[in-house]
Amino acid sequence: MEALTRKQHEIIDFLLNNQQEFSQPLSLDKLCAALGLKSRGSLHRIVQDLIEIGLIEPMDRKQRGVRLTEKARQINQTAGSQGSSLRYVGVIAAGKPIEAIETQEYMTVPDQIRTDNPCYVLRVKGDSMVEEGIHDGDWVIIEQRCHARNGEIVVALVDKTEATLKFIEQYPHETLLVPANSGMQTMHYQPARVEIQGVLVGQMRSYRR
């Protein structure tokens, strides 16, 4: 699956992780809603590409829903013995916001530290979250969503260009991005400047030097 695009991986991962939830194959409209996508047309093009490479069954008058092929299920069974393969997106700042660097790499992540919803992996750079046990060089597993409760640790995109990992506090007049480091200051923004890209659900660390 290394040749798949980001959106193709999201669709396959969602169907693999939720195939037991649906008694019937999902229609394009239902899949679009489940993934939080706005454009049915763009989803249709992605699905057609996945049909061409043999991961989704062709749809016709009898088979209108989106159904995984046996090839896709075998990929899931192979990965399931060690964990799920998640996108490794790049570096996230635990400090001053830096631009997130997107990659096309994938990492195997234990199922116990991810959720059934679409997730991705980021590498932490900086020490603004050390008092929460999140250190420079750690990998964090992020559940992809655009909302969070106050007090959750989020990936926040500031001014559509810079991403940072912080506690979030949201109020009508401002949004606070709060570090877990007593030596650093809380960042204050107008709400329109901050977009939530996901919520922290897991963490991994290597002790190799």
Alpha-carbon distance of 4 to 148, in angstroms, equals: 29
CB 205 within 8 A of CB 139: yes
List, in order of start, the domains of the chain with CATH numbers: 6-80 (1.10.10.10), 84-204 (2.10.109.10)
Longest dimension (CA), the chain: 63
Two tokens, residue 5: 């695009």
Confidence (pLDDT) at 63: 59
Angle (CA) 165 171 172, round 5°: 130
The mean pLDDT of 19-32, rounded to a whole number, is: 76
Give the pair of three-digit tokens for residue 17.
Answer: 């992780």
Q: How far apart are CA 167 and CA 178, in angstroms?
A: 5
In the chain, where does DSSP find H-type helix? 6-18, 28-35, 40-52, 70-80
Catalytic residue among 128, 160, 182, 206: 128
Please state, rounded to an integer, the average pLDDT across all residues of the chain: 82
- The catalytically annotated residue of 125, 166, 182, 206 is 166
Quick: pLDDT tens for 177-202.
Answer: 999 999 999 999 999 999 998 999 99
As a whole number, mean pLDDT of residues 40-46 equals 84
153-158 and 139-143 as β-strands: parallel, antiparallel, unpaired? unpaired
Asked if residue 163 has pLDDT above 60, the reply is yes
Amino acid at 187: M
| Pairing, β 153-158 against β 194-204 | antiparallel
* Pair 34, 26: CB distance under 8 Å: yes
125 vs 72 pLDDT, higher one: 125
pLDDT of residue 80: 46
pLDDT at position 206: 85
**Between residues 167 and 25, the one the model is more confident about:** 167
**pLDDT score for 109:** 86
Residue range 68-102, pLDDT digits in tens: 887 776 655 544 444 567 777 778 877 666 555 56
Q: Is 169 helix (H, G, I), strand (E, B) or coil?
A: strand
Nearest residue to 176 via CA among 164, 191, 192: 191
The pLDDT value recorded for residue 111 is 82
Among 14-28, 31-45, 112-126, 168-182, top mean pLDDT goes to 168-182
| pLDDT of res. 168 | 97
Catalytic-residue membership of 85: no
Is 166 part of the annotated catalytic residue set?
yes
